[in-house]
Amino acid sequence: MIYFNTDINMSLGEDIYAALRSGRFPHSVIIEGGSGSKRMSLSKGIAQALVCSSDESPCGVCPHCRKAAAGIHPDIELCEEDKKGNFTANTARDIVNSVSIIPNEADSKVYILTLTGEMSPVSQNILLKTLEEPPKYAFFIIACPSAADLLDTVISRSRVFSLGEQESEPDEEESSKALETACLIAKAIVADSEFDIVREASVFEKDKKLFADTLPVLDEIIVEAMKVKATGIRCERFGGTADTLGLRLTLARLEKLEKATRELKSGLENNRNYNLLITRLCTLFRANT
Ligand SMILES: [Zn+2]
């Protein structure tokens, strides 16, 4: 199983996989909560799974998955708000008018509707009939801050997947520091000396926020490394660190690291002793174990 490229909790991930595997994925889903980028990333992951031609979707390797990952799949349509932040009636009409055109390449056609605020009742009402009786190949993913902002009639025709509380977009400078730190930690995992991890982890001693920001990125790197291991396809993100991990470590070790990252995240969320958590990170990630 390939995990989604986003920081979501396990039970939500399992719910989504169960729905995908059932072969009866809801034609209309609402992704709410979290940050805009998390909602987008999850929506794209689901769209990829829906166009994927493998039984184990998203497989990550079939032509559909590759095109979806590159953002060029002709059967995945991104429908966005205009510059003023309105999801216009024209955009809604375009969706209704194009939905009857059968998919180009895949067996499914996916519309991702991204909202940063509310959608006007007019636009929602235009979409309503299509959401109610979509062609069997059509799927709609409405990514929005809160499902409660949508009309009851839209909500009742959709399944809601919640990413939890709404979050603001991460600060750019903080994100790039977290990315850099996660890459250094990842490199230290495969370093020759076990002291590398202790050295790299020392930046966390006085910076709990950095620790909290770094763990999800580290988790993503490890998940990407698992994909590299499973598929042999190199990962272009993270400056080659996911590739290095994928090539040098066994799948069992990568799975342990992924579990370890989740353990640390939950330790942080549950306010465990902070210094012990850093020590735990060093123990779990130490080179050659
Ligand atoms: Zn696939």
Alpha helices in the chain (DSSP H): 10-21, 36-51, 63-70, 89-98, 121-132, 152-156, 172-189, 195-201, 208-231, 241-248, 251-269, 274-285
137 CA distance to ligand 1 middle (Å): 17
Give the tens place of pLDDT for each residue, 224-238: 999 888 888 888 789
Structure tokens at 48: 């990829």
276 CA distance to ligand 1 middle (Å): 41
- Note the pLDDT of residue 9: 76
What CATH architecture does domain 172-285 belong to? Up-down Bundle (1.20)
List the chain domain ranges: 10-166, 172-285
Give the tens place of pLDDT for each residue, 218-274: 999 999 999 888 888 888 789 899 999 999 999 999 999 999 999 999 999 888 999
Q: Which residues have CB atoms below 5 A from the ion given as ligand 1?
A: 52, 54, 59, 62, 65
Angle at 5 between CA 258 and CA 114, to 5 degrees: 150
Please choose, from the candidates 172, 143, 170, the residue with its C-alpha nearest in 3D space to the C-alpha of residue 158: 143
86 CA distance to ligand 1 middle (Å): 33
| CATH topology match: 10-166 vs 172-285 | no
Q: 1 pLDDT exceeds 60?
A: no
Q: 142 pLDDT exceeds 80?
A: yes
Structure tokens at 35: 């940050």
- Note the pLDDT of residue 13: 85
Mean pLDDT on 200-208: 94
Interacting residues of 113 by C-beta distance below 8 A, sequence separation 6+: 79, 87, 95, 119, 140, 141, 142, 143, 144
Given the structure tokens 């790299």, which residue do they identify? Answer: 200
Q: How confident is the model at residue 7 (pLDDT cuts 50, 70, 90)?
A: low
Which residues does residue 28 pair with via DSSP β-bridges, in sequence order?
140
How far apart, in whole angstroms, are the C-alpha atoms of residue 76 and residue 25? 16
Question: Greater confidence, 287 or 120?
Answer: 120
- Note the pLDDT of residue 74: 97
Please choose, from the candidates 285, 279, 253, the residue with its C-alpha nearest in 3D space to the C-alpha of residue 187: 285
The topology (CATH level 3) of 10-166 is Rossmann fold (3.40.50)
Interacting residues of 250 by C-beta distance below 8 A, sequence separation 6+: none
68 CA distance to ligand 1 middle (Å): 9
- Note the pLDDT of residue 236: 79
226 CA distance to ligand 1 middle (Å): 16
| Per-position b or e across 46-79, b if 16+ CB within 10 A of its CB | bbbbbbbeeeebbbbbbebbebbbeeebebbbeb
Give the tens place of pLDDT for each residue, 49-82: 999 998 888 888 899 998 998 889 999 999 999 9
What's the mean per-residue pLDDT of the chain? 91
